[in-house]
Chains A and B, each alone.
Chain A
């Protein structure tokens, strides 16, 4: 069982703003930077956010990240049908000395 917790599912309608959340602890989110990934089945996961809130080149500014204490969030504004995917947060854990993924959130665009 992952020690970084994400809600398993989330839904929204086109144009809506949704937020995917990750809850961790002092040894991971509380002390290290968070990255976010978008994963469509059968494809390679795609880096959406690094350093808590930075977007790689080519990622639309509809995607934004934030972190506070031991929690992190990915916000998607102006929701589009192509945003339907699984979203994962990832963070280094100092106690485990390894990389942790959240359990993943399946976003459905209604």
Chain B
């Protein structure tokens, strides 16, 4: 069974640009959640999608958005990039929404904003 895949793995952008990251969950999983990992803050929850609906949202500005497609693949978008957005973005998949915990994480997308 293939794991959670994220593309691209590495990305370099400049301030003011926008970026779109993609996550494909494990086959059969319908919930995808996104996290931002930075050295100073650890892992912080961004949002969760289930059946194309956002079920939960963290404390991030509106520049961070996401969506989920009918095949459960999810994308997150960050507009008007800031230097502080440089981080590892992780997505996790689960069978159902509101599950006890996300068990399967992807390897992450390393975003660098210059």
A and B from one complex: no
